[in-house]
Amino acid sequence: MISTFLVEHAALVPIGFWIAVALVTALAWLLHRRGARRTLLVLAALAFLAGIALTMYPPDGTPPVFCTVQFSVPFDGIDTLANIALLLPGALLLAVAVGRPVLVAAAVSGLSALIELVQASVPAIGRSCDTNDWLMNTIGAVLGALLAAAILAIENRRAGRRVSR
Expressed as residue numbers, the domain containing 11 is 2-164
**Sign of the dihedral defined by the CA atoms of residues 165, 27, 16, 132, in that order:** positive
Residue 46 has pLDDT above 60, yes or no: yes
Nearest to 132 by CA among 95, 90, 86: 86
For residue range 104-143, list pLDDT tens digits in order: 999 999 999 999 998 888 877 777 788 888 999 999 999 9
- Beta bridge partners of residue 130, listed in sequence order: 68
Please say whether the beta carbons of 87 and 45 come within 8 A: no
Query: What is the domain count for the chain?
Result: 1
Residue 145 has pLDDT above 90, yes or no: yes
Q: What is the mean pLDDT of the chain?
A: 87
